[in-house]
């Protein structure tokens, strides 16, 4: 059975100009120990998905439909207090910017110990001891001394290691890592990702790795989901999606992944821009930019369907369309 | 520790309450700024010190002269007065009161640091004749010397010498004088404690010579607690809520309420203080005006016009709420020399005022600036505002420049004024004091025209003042009468009114009203 | 730590110098003490003599240097009005003002901080709305009006509380306190509320907006994501971070309270330094006014120093360079 | 204009009845004050029109009132309604001018400090720090006192209004300067400003056209909130007797005068100006609060 099941998740933001649909019909699963990469441009809904899973959507955003299940138990409609017990204990979270994620007024040891005593049946002394162990585990040198340091006394990379320790210290089964390396110096991004990957593997923790960095995905994830305008447009095994993307958008996205040694900051530019949430076109949201667009794309919304080795939301792969296209010689 | 202190304090309060104390809690807007009897000639000091110190000559309830520390006085020669002193009088700290103390006190009041010069200006020296007789020699004959001496308090020579206070307190010295905070008088009350601006406590001096005299109708007050409360509203609130028993200067607008309240009452009487407008009659061109090359105020027609433009009854009724005595002369009837026939105002008549202005060459009026204090006399600023409006209505466009006492006096004392309002009290209760200070030509002679900031100068007036200084009897009275007539005709001032002084108190207090605004608590009764 | 304090003190020095210059310059020419001291009857010669003796004829700069030299020794001369050493007068009045200011500050903090925290956490509850309305009215009411209304209601109409003064005081050495007697405590209530109300609303609004600001930070979100209980998030993480700026402002507000005490003391005739100051202004009592301003400046500088130290204690970020950093 | 009515600001405005009410009240206050010479039934400054006979008339509804004086008269027979309208005029004039003054000063200095950085920044911010240490009311008292001392009284009376404006204005600039400096520091490093610099625009025009528009909305919020403070500061100074000259009574002056009549039954002389002051400041503060929330949507 899968660890996390997200089914038809819909997140809405009521605004004065009507309701914005930030996530529309998002479904995916994560198996125990699996690393699911989630990629897409800024505003595609990657982080939103993570926030929705741990129940920390920013108001006025709210889950308007669908379900989130953890080990089969529905968690999206739990009362705040019950969900709180799950957060940290069952689902850890790693945020983007380690400079702002840690409370500046508490020592890192205190923050670790606090998390553990909250969730685990251990006393303060034991928590302190484990805090040191965790710091060692994430590679903080002289952990026994640094446990009493304040966050500002660490460098950015070291802080993100602390954040990783914080996310994992109550031994959750799933970690939602929201762009864990974006804010870091390029030179240490690889180290941090490696640490995260190894720790997850070691502890058997599943991971939802949100990033817009295809290189990270290619090296870390087992499977990958590509998001566009609040929808998953393609999902599949990482090798297949990277090498042989089905959706035209994914294909463009994967078009030029440079080798990790000299990675560029941004995704390859695709003509045009992602639509604003308030102006998502009917049919396939990608249709205004798609080189293969045809009439149906502008009218009818494609669901995920088998496409190449993956599943993609693209009419190109609808059997009837494939037939027609083949005949017309377009494909 | 704190708890114990609290208990002790509570116990002390309880004890104080249990004793047969008759306390008057007394408030006024101003606090005395010294306890030195010869340093500051101001009402706030005198009101406190006259409880503690006696003068050779006292005043009765009507402010008439009566024996004080001197039992009798006679003018043995034109320039020599002889005083026979009361025997057996002791100062609060035990010293006997003798002729030496009188000589010392007079000499002290003559010191340059004294602010009481006007009361001893004619004195050349004092001589002890024997232990209980003193002669005072004047430089020239001074018919009103006893009136003046009623304001000079007697100190102990030995005490003053012991405390290095043989001169009146000199605010210029770096060190503080003993007499600023301590007293040693012969009076009915002793100074028990003093915190400036906060609280001054007097207690009954059981050894006072006057208690024995049943004719005095003495009161029963054993303790007087004085607290200055500057804010009018707060002072009234304190009286109404029973935190204060006696308020010397209740605001006029609150009198009705105080009269109607069940527990308070108001005692009213006239004060020997006259408000008037004084004018610059000497400059060739008026300051702060739009008239060029002329001084309209040197023209008696203009002065009359301004006079007749004032609706004094409206001011009396509205601004003063009836608490004033409208007048047409320089001082009230308590002052020696007052003549009722001369106390007549020019009638209020706006049309006449306009006509006079036109006649004087100002058909369109002119502009003028009225200087006014705003914390010295009762409702001074409001009176000036009303007058400014009235003058503006007849065409004399008046700008009002009202300011606190300190800058106001500083300004007019620089002669930096063209028209101003002043209130004048007469502590000697004799006409000369007013005429000499306010209307004599300022010529450098001591006392002449020192408050004549309009620089009014009239040879006729000066001659009359000279006669007041030297002549006696009917001739002197005639001189005063002539001066009063001249005052009416020449309009050197525009008289307004004599102030009334209302005293407000809790209903259980009774005290005689004093026209000099100086209460005597020895005559006060608490029920 | 030591060098921190020293550097702060060194920074305070020019401030004190400027303030003393202003306080001196401000009053060097205002009013006319000579006219006041001489009373109603004097000669020109007496006047000149007094001007000379007071040193008022000396050049401005000489007067200032004399003033400064004396001020350093706590010597502000004799009050023109009361003929007593100014330092003594201020020492006499300081307890009244400090007790009033402190009580007002305690009221403002004790009520303002919880109200701010509450309204920050529960933004939409009706109680929050009530508090907010209350605070808006609070910042819109001038202090003097509050005092007048309180006197009208509680002293004149209801007769519960005294309308002026300090009540009975107990002397503890040179300090006189009204906190140990019943009447002293009663007398303190209305002025302290009057003085504290404005600051209370300010502190409440400040805490509220800081709290809201902090609640939006990543570390609070992360604390929630770690599953910490609300209590720990709100009163541990959020409140502690909120208090850092609040300490600064509250410290500065203590200064404001002492300044606004001028108004409150005037309304309630509270025998403190503010009343002394206003009475001195009325009488152009230069030595007292100059000393008061110097004193206030010194108080503010000390408050600032204390605030800095508190900051230092609360916020570890300021302790960089104390060793363990890298 | 159309863009304005279509904006978020207008939208949130129409959504808040309290804000609309306070805007209406503020508008009435401002209109009443500005148009006082036209609207007021009497001219309280025209001495020739004052009748001492009419003094202390109670408000018209109390029975003894006079329809000529809807809110009654003061001790000089001045119509209270007119006095309040003219008083509000002075209060608002001082308030607005003081805020404009401190805004201008604060924005310019803040821009300079933020854009130039270095020593200019250090010196300016140090001055701001020092000044922030002192309560603005005390700074205002000080400035007022210095000017009072430095100028002869007659000159002072003529410029007293400016002195008060200056005193209140100067005491509030650091707030603006700090905010603007902070935003400027952020904007300065943004690409478009860097780009503008590269293409050789002068620092002045860069600041004016690029940095300034971006810092205007926090400045607007602070300015609105400061308006309330400025009006109160003026009232407090006038209450202490050191504010505007008595020839141009502001609401604070009216309250001070009326305070003497609080216990004597003539309550309207102090209560009406007091209420006018509170209503005015309250409506301005409500607007300021709303503006802050509306321009800072994350706080909502």
Q: For D79-109, what is each residue's pLDDT tens digit?
A: 889 999 999 988 999 999 999 999 999 998 9
Is residue D76 less than 8 Å (CB to CB) from chain B? yes
How far, in Å, CA of C119 to CA of C206, rounded?
A: 11
CA of B518 to nearest chain C CA: how many angstroms apart?
Answer: 18
Asked if residue C94 and residue C41 are part of one domain, the reply reads no
CA of D22 to nearest chain C CA: how many angstroms apart?
Answer: 12
How far, in Å, CA of D25 to CA of D22, rounded?
A: 5
Q: In what order do the strands lie in the sheet containing A62-70?
A: A18-30, A4-15, A62-70, A73-74
Burial class for A273, CB neighbours closer than 10 Å (0-12, 13-18, 19+):
exposed
Q: For B323-335, what is each residue's pLDDT tens digit?
A: 899 999 999 998 9
How far, in Å, CA of A251 to CA of A244, rounded?
A: 7
Q: Which residue of B has its CA nearest to C187?
A: B243
**Domains: count for chain C:** 2
Topology classification of domain A1-90+173-259+268-290: Rossmann fold (3.40.50)
> If you count residue pairs, one on C and one on D, with CB atoms under 8 Å apart, how many are there?
88
Q: Phi-psi bin for B188: left (phi > 0), alpha (psi -120 to 50), beta?
A: alpha
Give the residue from B447, B522, B451, B460 showing the smallest Cα distance to B493.
Answer: B451
What mean pLDDT is predicted for residues B176-197? 88
Q: For A272-318, what is each residue's pLDDT tens digit?
A: 777 887 788 888 888 888 888 888 888 888 988 988 888 999 888 88
CA of C38 to nearest chain D CA: how many angstroms apart?
Answer: 21
CB pair distance less than 8 Å for C139 and D285 = yes
Confidence of residue A207 (pLDDT cuts 50, 70, 90): very high
How far, in Å, CA of D156 to CA of A190, rounded?
A: 72
Give, in order, the Cα–Cα distances in Å from B97 to each of A318, B54, B100, B101, C111: 128, 11, 8, 6, 63
Q: Which chains touch D (3 or more CB pairs under 8 A)?
A: A, B, C
Q: Which chains touch A (3 or more CB pairs under 8 A)?
A: C, D
- Give the Cβ contact number of residue A283 at 10 Å: 18
Residue range B271-500 forms a domain whose CATH class is: alpha beta
For residue D152, what pLDDT is reported?
Answer: 64
Counted residue by residue, chain B has a size of: 527
Q: For D59-73, what is each residue's pLDDT tens digit?
A: 888 777 778 888 888
How far, in Å, CA of C86 to CA of C276, rounded?
A: 11
The closest CB to that of B450, out of C41, C148, C152, belongs to C41
What letter does residue C78 receive in the DSSP assignment?
B
CB pair distance less than 8 Å for C225 and A56 = yes
Best of C101, C105, C144 to disrupt the D interface (most D CBs within 10 Å) is C144
Best of A16, A18, A59 to disrupt the D interface (most D CBs within 10 Å) is A16
Q: For A115-129, what is each residue's pLDDT tens digit?
A: 898 888 888 999 999
CA of D18 to nearest chain A CA: how many angstroms apart?
Answer: 19
* CB interface of A with D, residues 304-323, below 8 Å: none
Residue at C211 is within a domain:
yes
Average model confidence (pLDDT) across chain B: 88
Q: Which residue of D has its CA nearest to A60?
A: D300
Give, in order, the Cα–Cα distances in Å from B397 to each of A90, A140, B290, D274: 88, 87, 10, 31
Q: Which residue of C has its CA nearest to A150?
A: C316
Residues 6+ apart with CB under 8 A from B291: B285, B362, B366, B367
Q: If you compute the radius of gyration of chain A from its CA atoms, what whole number of angstroms results?
A: 21
Range of the domain at C108: 87-282
User: Per the CATH hierarchy, to which homologous superfamily does domain B21-227+507-526 belong?
Assistant: Periplasmic binding protein-like II (3.40.190.10)
Tokens 């002449």 map to which residue? B448
How far, in Å, CA of B525 to CA of B521, rounded?
A: 8
Q: For B15-73, what is each residue's pLDDT tens digit?
A: 444 446 789 999 998 888 789 898 877 778 889 999 999 999 999 888 889 999 999 99
For residue B1, what pLDDT is reported?
Answer: 46
Residues of D in contact with C302 (CB under 8 A): none
Q: Which residue of C has its CA nearest to A151?
A: C317
CATH 3.40.50.300 occupies which residues in chain A? 1-90+173-259+268-290
Is residue B413 less than 8 Å (CB to CB) from chain C? yes
Asked if residue C43 and residue C6 are part of one domain, the reply reads yes
How far, in Å, CA of B29 to CA of B233, rounded?
A: 11
Give the residue from C318, C234, C258, C303 showing the smallest Cα distance to C104.
Answer: C258
Q: For B416-461, what is each residue's pLDDT tens digit?
A: 899 999 999 888 889 998 999 899 998 766 668 878 988 999 999 9
Residues 6+ apart with CB under 8 A from B161: none
Residues 6+ apart with CB under 8 A from B121: B446, B447
CB pair distance less than 8 Å for D52 and B411 = no
Q: pLDDT: is B474 or C309 the higher one?
A: B474
Q: Which helix (H) or strand (E) holds D26?
A: helix D17-34
CATH 3.10.105.10 occupies which residues in chain B? 271-500
Residues of A in contact with C241 (CB under 8 A): 103-105
- Give the Cβ contact number of residue B376 at 10 Å: 16
Give the CA angle between residues B119, B124, B128 to the nearest 5°: 100
Q: Which residues pair with B136 in a beta bridge?
A: B81, B126
Tokens 């405590």 map to which residue? C185
Asked if residue C177 and residue C61 are part of one domain, the reply reads no
Asked if residue C93 and residue C65 are part of one domain, the reply reads no
Average model confidence (pLDDT) across chain A: 84
CA of D125 to nearest chain C CA: how many angstroms apart?
Answer: 13
CB pair distance less than 8 Å for C224 and A101 = no
Q: Are chains B and D touching, using the cut-off of 8 Å on CB pairs and a minimum of 3 such pairs? A: yes
CB B223 within 8 A of CB B203: yes
For residue D191, what pLDDT is reported?
Answer: 72
A263, pLDDT greater than 50: no
How far, in Å, CA of D12 to CA of D23, rounded?
A: 13
CB A138 within 8 A of CB C255: no
CB pair distance less than 8 Å for C82 and B33 = yes
Asked if residue C148 and residue C65 are part of one domain, the reply reads no
Q: Which chains touch B (3 or more CB pairs under 8 A)?
A: C, D
Q: Which residue of C has its CA nearest to A117?
A: C228
Asked if residue C91 and residue C67 are part of one domain, the reply reads no
Buried b (16+ CB within 10 A) or exposed e, B255-281: bebbeebeebbbbeebbbbbbbbbbbb
Is residue A100 less than 8 Å (CB to CB) from chain C? yes
How far, in Å, CA of B381 to CA of A163, rounded?
A: 73
Residue at C324 is within a domain:
no
Tokens 């530019």 map to which residue? A269
Q: Which residue of A has its CA nearest to D10?
A: A16
Strands B493-506 and B324-326: antiparallel
Name the H helices within chain A: 46-53, 80-86, 98-101, 108-119, 124-137, 143-146, 156-168, 186-203, 214-220, 238-243, 248-254, 295-299, 319-328
Q: pLDDT: is B124 or C292 the higher one?
A: B124
Q: Are chains B and A touching, using the cut-off of 8 Å on CB pairs and a minimum of 3 such pairs? A: no
Strands B133-138 and B80-85: antiparallel
CB pair distance less than 8 Å for D50 and B389 = yes
Q: For C182-201, what is each residue's pLDDT tens digit?
A: 888 888 999 999 999 988 88
What letter does residue B5 receive in the DSSP assignment?
H
Residues of A in contact with C315 (CB under 8 A): 104-105
Helix (H, G, I), strand (E, B) or coil at C58: coil
CB pair distance less than 8 Å for D281 and C140 = yes
Is residue A16 less than 8 Å (CB to CB) from chain D? yes
Confidence of residue D170 (pLDDT cuts 50, 70, 90): confident
A191, pLDDT greater than 70: yes
Q: For C211-220, what is each residue's pLDDT tens digit?
A: 888 888 888 8
Q: What is the 3-state secondary structure (H, E, C) of B178-244?
A: HHHHCCCCCCCEEEEEEECCCEEEEEECCCCCCCCCHHHCCCCCCEEEEEECCCHHHHHHHHHCCCC
Buried b (16+ CB within 10 A) or exposed e, A22-59: bbbbbbbbbeebbbbbbbbbebbbbbbbbbbbbbbbee
Q: For A45-72, what is each residue's pLDDT tens digit?
A: 888 898 899 888 887 888 888 899 999 8
* CB interface of C with D, residues 148-207, below 8 Å: 148, 152, 156
Residues of C in contact with D252 (CB under 8 A): 142
Q: What is the 3-state secondary structure (H, E, C) of B426-449?
A: CCCCEHHHHHHHHHCCCCCCCCCC
Is residue D6 less than 8 Å (CB to CB) from chain A? no
Give the residue from B367, B229, B233, B236 showing the smallest Cα distance to B292.
Answer: B367
Q: What is the value of pTM for the model shown?
A: 0.76
What mean pLDDT is predicted for residues B256-268? 87
CB C288 within 8 A of CB C280: yes
CA of A318 to nearest chain C CA: how many angstroms apart?
Answer: 40
CB C238 within 8 A of CB C215: yes
CATH 3.40.190.10 occupies which residues in chain B? 21-227+507-526
Residues of D in contact with B401 (CB under 8 A): 153-154, 157
How far, in Å, CA of B261 to CA of D299, rounded?
A: 55
The closest CB to that of C228, out of A93, A97, A118, belongs to A118
What letter does residue B297 receive in the DSSP assignment?
G
Is residue C256 less than 8 Å (CB to CB) from chain D? yes
CB B222 within 8 A of CB B521: no
Is residue D149 less than 8 Å (CB to CB) from chain B? no
Counted residue by residue, chain A has a size of: 331
Strands B246-247 and B264-279: unpaired
D162 phi/psi in degrees, rounded to 5:
-65, -35
Is residue A104 less than 8 Å (CB to CB) from chain C? yes
Q: pLDDT: is D6 or C211 the higher one?
A: C211
How far, in Å, CA of A105 to CA of D43, rounded?
A: 62
Tokens 């109300």 map to which residue? C197
Give, in order, the Cα–Cα distances in Å from D79 to each of B383, C23, D235: 18, 41, 20
CB pair distance less than 8 Å for B9 and C284 = no
* CB interface of D with C, residues 197-236, below 8 Å: 228, 232, 235-236
Asked if residue C6 and residue C123 are part of one domain, the reply reads no
D155, pLDDT greater than 50: yes
CB pair distance less than 8 Å for D299 and C259 = no
Strands A206-210 and A35-39: parallel
For residue A258, what pLDDT is reported?
Answer: 44
Asked if residue C259 and residue C233 are part of one domain, the reply reads yes
For residue B256, what pLDDT is reported?
Answer: 83
Buried b (16+ CB within 10 A) or exposed e, B162-188: eeebebbbbbbeeebbbbbbebbbbbb
Q: If you compute the radius of gyration of chain B from its CA atoms, what whole number of angstroms results?
A: 25
Q: What is the 3-state secondary structure (H, E, C) of B335-370?
A: CECCCHHHCCCCCCCHHHHHHHHHHCCCCCCEEEEE
Confidence of residue B236 (pLDDT cuts 50, 70, 90): confident
Helix (H, G, I), strand (E, B) or coil at B277: strand
CB pair distance less than 8 Å for A104 and C316 = yes
Q: Which residue of D has its CA nearest to B320?
A: D75
Give the CA angle between residues C192, C193, C198 to the nearest 5°: 110
């Amino acid at each position: 059975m899968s660890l996390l099941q997200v089914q038809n998740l819909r997140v809405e933001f009521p605004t004065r100009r009507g309701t914005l649909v930030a996530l529309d019909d998002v479904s995916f699963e994560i198996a125990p120990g699996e690393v699911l990469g989630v990629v897409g441009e800024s505003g595609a809904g990657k982080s939103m998905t993570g926030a929705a899973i741990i129940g920390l959507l920013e108001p006025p955003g709210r889950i308007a439909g669908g379900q989130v299940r953890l080990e089969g138990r529905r968690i999206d409609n739990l009362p705040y207090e019950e969900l709180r017990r799950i957060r940290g204990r069952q689902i850890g979270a790693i945020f983007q910017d380690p400079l702002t994620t840690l409370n500046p007024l508490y020592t890192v040891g205190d923050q670790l110990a606090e998390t553990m005593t909250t969730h685990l049946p251990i006393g303060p002394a034991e928590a302190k001891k484990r805090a040191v162990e965790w710091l060692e585990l994430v590679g903080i040198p002289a952990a026994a001394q640094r446990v009493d340091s304040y966050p500002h006394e660490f460098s950015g990379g070291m802080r993100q290691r602390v954040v990783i320790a914080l996310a994992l210290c109550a031994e959750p089964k799933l970690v939602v890592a929201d762009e864990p390396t974006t804010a870091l110096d390029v030179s240490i991004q690889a180290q941090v990702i490696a640490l995260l990957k190894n720790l997850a593997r070691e502890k058997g923790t599943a991971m939802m790795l949100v990033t817009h960095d295809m290189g990270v995905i290619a090296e870390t994830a087992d499977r990958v989901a590509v998001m566009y305008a609040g929808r998953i447009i393609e999902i599949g095994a990482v090798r297949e999606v990277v090498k042989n993307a089905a959706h035209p958008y994914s294909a463009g996205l994967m078009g030029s992944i440079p080798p990790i040694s000299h990675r560029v900051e941004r995704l390859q530019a695709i003509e045009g821009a992602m639509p604003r949430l308030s102006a998502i076109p009917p049919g396939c949201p990608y249709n205004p930019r798609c080189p293969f667009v045809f009439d149906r794309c502008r009218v009818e919304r494609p669901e995920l369907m088998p496409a190449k080795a993956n599943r993609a939301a693209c009419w190109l792969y609808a059997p009837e369309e494939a037939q027609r296209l083949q005949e017309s010689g377009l494909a | 520790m704190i708890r114990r202190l609290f208990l002790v304090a509570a116990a002390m309060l309880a004890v104080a309450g249990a004793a047969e104390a008759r306390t008057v809690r007394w408030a006024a807007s101003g606090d005395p700024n010294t306890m030195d009897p010869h340093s500051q000639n101001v009402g706030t000091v005198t009101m406190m010190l006259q409880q503690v110190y006696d003068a050779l000559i006292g005043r009765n309830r009507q402010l008439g002269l009566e024996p004080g520390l001197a039992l009798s006085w006679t003018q043995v020669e034109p320039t020599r007065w002889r005083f026979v002193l009361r025997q057996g009088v002791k100062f609060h700290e035990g010293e006997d009161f003798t002729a030496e103390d009188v000589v010392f006190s007079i000499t002290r009041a003559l010191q340059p640091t004294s602010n009481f010069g006007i009361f001893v200006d004619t004195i050349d020296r004092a001589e002890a004749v024997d232990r209980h007789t003193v002669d005072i020699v004047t430089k020239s004959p001074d018919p009103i010397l006893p009136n003046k001496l009623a304001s000079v308090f007697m100190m102990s020579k030995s005490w003053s010498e012991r405390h290095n206070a043989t001169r009146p307190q000199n605010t210029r010295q770096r060190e503080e004088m003993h007499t600023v905070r301590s007293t040693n008088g012969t009076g009915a009350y002793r100074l028990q404690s003093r915190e400036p601006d906060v609280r001054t406590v007097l207690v009954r001096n059981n050894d006072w010579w006057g208690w024995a005299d049943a004719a005095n109708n003495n009161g029963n007050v054993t303790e007087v607690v004085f607290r200055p409360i500057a804010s009018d509203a707060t002072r009234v609130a304190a009286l109404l809520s029973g935190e204060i028993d006696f308020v010397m200067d209740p605001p006029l607008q609150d009198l009705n309420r105080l009269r109607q309240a069940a527990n308070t009452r108001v005692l009213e009487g006239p004060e020997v203080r006259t408000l008037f407008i004084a004018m610059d009659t000497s400059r060739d061109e008026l300051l702060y005006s739009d008239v060029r090359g002329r001084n309209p105020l040197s023209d008696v027609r203009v002065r009359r016009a301004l006079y007749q433009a004032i609706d004094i009854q409206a001011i009396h009724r509205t601004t003063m709420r009836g608490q004033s005595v409208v007048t047409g002369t320089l001082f009230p009837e308590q002052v020696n020399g007052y003549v009722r026939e001369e106390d007549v105002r020019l009638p209020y008549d706006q049309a006449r005022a306009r006509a006079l202005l036109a006649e004087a060459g100002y058909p369109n009026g002119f502009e003028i600036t009225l200087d006014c204090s705003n914390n010295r006399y009762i409702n001074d600023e409001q009176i000036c505002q009303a007058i400014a409006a009235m003058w503006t209505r007849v065409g004399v466009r008046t700008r009002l420049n009202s300011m606190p006492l300190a800058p106001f006096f500083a300004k007019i004392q620089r002669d930096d004024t063209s028209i101003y309002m002043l209130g004048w009290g007469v502590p000697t209760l004799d006409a000369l004091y007013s005429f000499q200070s306010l209307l004599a030509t300022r010529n450098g002679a001591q006392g002449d025209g020192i408050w004549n900031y309009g620089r009014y100068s009239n040879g006729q007036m000066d001659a009359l003042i000279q006669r007041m200084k030297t002549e006696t009897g009917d001739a002197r009275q005639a001189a005063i009468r002539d001066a009063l007539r001249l005052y009416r005709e020449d309009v050197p001032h525009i008289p307004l009114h004599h102030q009334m002084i209302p005293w407000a108190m809790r209903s259980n207090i009774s005290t005689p009203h004093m026209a000099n605004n100086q209460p005597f608590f020895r005559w006060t009764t608490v029920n | 730590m030591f060098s921190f304090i020293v550097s702060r003190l060194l920074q305070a020095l020019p401030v004190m110098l400027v303030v003393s210059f202003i306080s001196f310059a401000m009053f060097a020419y205002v009013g006319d003490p000579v006219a006041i001291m001489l009373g109603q009857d004097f000669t020109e010669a007496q006047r000149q003599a007094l001007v000379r003796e007071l040193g008022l004829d000396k050049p401005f700069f000489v007067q200032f240097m004399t003033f400064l030299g004396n001020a350093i020794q706590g010597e502000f001369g004799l009050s023109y009005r009361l003929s007593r050493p100014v330092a003594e007068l201020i020492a006499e009045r300081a307890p009244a003002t400090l007790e009033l200011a402190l009580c007002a500050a305690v009221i403002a903090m004790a009520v303002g901080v919880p109200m701010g925290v509450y309204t920050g956490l529960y933004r939409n509850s009706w109680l929050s709305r009530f508090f907010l309305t209350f605070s808006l009215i609070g910042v819109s009411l001038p202090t003097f009006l509050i005092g007048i209304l309180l006197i009208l209601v509680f002293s004149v109409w209801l007769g519960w509380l005294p309308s002026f003064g300090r009540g009975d005081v107990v002397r503890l050495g040179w300090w006189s306190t009204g906190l140990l007697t019943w009447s002293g405590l009663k007398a303190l209530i209305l002025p302290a509320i009057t003085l504290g109300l404005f600051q209370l609303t300010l502190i409440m609004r400040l805490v509220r907006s800081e709290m809201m600001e902090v609640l939006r930070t990543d570390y609070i979100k992360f604390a929630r994501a770690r599953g910490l209980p609300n209590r720990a998030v709100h009163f541990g993480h959020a409140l502690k971070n909120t208090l850092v700026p609040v300490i600064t402002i509250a410290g500065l507000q203590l200064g404001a309270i002492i300044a606004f005490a001028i108004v409150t003391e005037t309304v309630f005739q509270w025998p403190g330094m503010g009343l002394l100051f206003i009475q001195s202004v009325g009488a152009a009592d230069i030595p007292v006014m100059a000393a008061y301003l110097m004193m206030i400046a010194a108080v503010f500088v000390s408050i600032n120093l204390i605030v800095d130290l508190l900051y230092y204690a609360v916020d570890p970020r300021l302790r960089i360079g104390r060793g363990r950093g890298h | 204009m159309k863009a304005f009515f279509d904006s978020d600001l207008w939208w949130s405005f129409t959504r808040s009845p309290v804000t609309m009410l306070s805007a209406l009240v503020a508008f009435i206050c401002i209109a009443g004050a500005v148009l006082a010479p036209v609207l007021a039934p009497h001219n309280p400054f025209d001495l020739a029109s004052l009748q001492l006979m009419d003094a202390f008339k109670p408000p018209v509804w109390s029975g003894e009132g006079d329809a000529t004086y809807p809110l009654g008269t003061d001790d000089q027979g001045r119509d209270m309604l007119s006095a309040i309208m003219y008083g509000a005029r002075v209060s608002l004039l001082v308030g607005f001018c003081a805020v404009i003054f401190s805004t201008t000063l604060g924005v310019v200095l803040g821009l300079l400090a933020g854009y130039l950085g270095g020593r200019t920044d250090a010196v300016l911010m140090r001055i701001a720090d020092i000044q922030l240490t002192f309560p603005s009311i005390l700074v205002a008292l000080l400035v007022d006192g210095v000017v009072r001392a430095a100028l002869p009284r007659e000159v002072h009376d003529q410029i007293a209004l400016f002195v008060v404006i200056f005193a209140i204005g100067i005491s509030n600039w650091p707030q603006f300067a700090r905010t603007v400096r902070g935003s400027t520091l952020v904007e300065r490093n943004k690409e478009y400003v860097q780009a503008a610099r590269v293409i050789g625009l002068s620092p002045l025009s860069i600041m004016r056209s690029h940095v300034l528009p971006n810092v205007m909305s926090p400045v607007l919020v602070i300015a609105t909130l400061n308006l309330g403070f400025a009006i109160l500061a003026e009232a407090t100074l006038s209450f202490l007797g050191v504010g505007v000259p008595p020839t141009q009574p502001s609401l604070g002056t009216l309250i001070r005068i009326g305070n003497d009549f609080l216990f004597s039954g003539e309550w309207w002389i102090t209560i009406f100006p007091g209420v006018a002051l509170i209503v005015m400041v309250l409506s301005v503060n409500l607007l300021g609060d709303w503006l802050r929330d509306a321009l800072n949507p994350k706080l909502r």
